[in-house]
Amino acid sequence: MSLPNILTYGRILAIPALVACFFVKGDWGRWVAMWIFIAAGVSDFLDGYLARAWEQQSAIGRMLDPIADKLIVAAALLMLAADQTIAGWSLWAGVIILCREILVSGLREFLGTLAVSVPVTRVAKWKTFLQMLAIGFLLAGSAGDKIWPYTTQFGLTLLWISAILTLYTGYDYLLAAVRHVMTED
């Protein structure tokens, strides 16, 4: 029950609140959903930082942290697609992001059974940051457009940039797995 693990549990528990607020009628629900998502993003940074700084890294934390990240991103992308904030060609950006997350999870699990570690790259960290920023803007969506008319468009642009980086980092993981499998045979 270390603070880093509590932050991870909190991120998972925030998902139903995020969904509930997003679908409340009126602008305030979107704003609250956006702030819940931002808090989740900050807690994602903090849990890893604190776990390393306080030497409180744990097996449960290493397992749950990426799961929490993928769950909240998937929930947000599905909600944004359901209300058509992400629609048309932009759905492809969301599909790319979700497919990469599933692919990388499977590859990490496969490589983990072989005791092969694939470290997170700097590009992957930037991808995650831009993806979270994009989703934050998109959660504000129509409410944000009333304050800054380009909120949704900016979020969609960032989502596409994230999708491109997602393809690149997903390819890196796939290449590492293929290299390892080829050297094993």
Q: Mind listing the pLDDT tens digit of every residue in the chain (185 residues)?
A: 899 999 999 999 999 999 999 999 999 999 999 999 999 999 999 998 999 999 999 989 988 998 999 999 999 999 999 999 999 999 999 999 999 999 888 888 887 777 777 778 899 989 999 999 999 999 999 999 999 999 999 999 999 999 999 999 999 888 878 887 788 76
Q: What spatial distance separates the first Cα and last Cα of the chain, rounded to whole Å?
A: 42
Count of domains for the chain: 1
What are the C-alpha distances in Å from 13 to residues 9, 10, 147? Answer: 6, 5, 30
Q: Widest CA span of the chain, in angstroms?
A: 58
User: What's the whole-model pTM score?
Assistant: 0.92
- Residue 66 CB partners (closer than 8 Å, separation 6+): 105, 108
Query: Which CATH number do you get for residue 149?
Result: 1.20.120.1760
Provide the domain limits for residue 98: 3-184
What string of DSSP letters covers 80-138? Answer: HHHTTSS-TTHHHHHHHHHHHHHHHHHHHHHHHHTT---PPPHHHHHHHHHHHHHHHHH
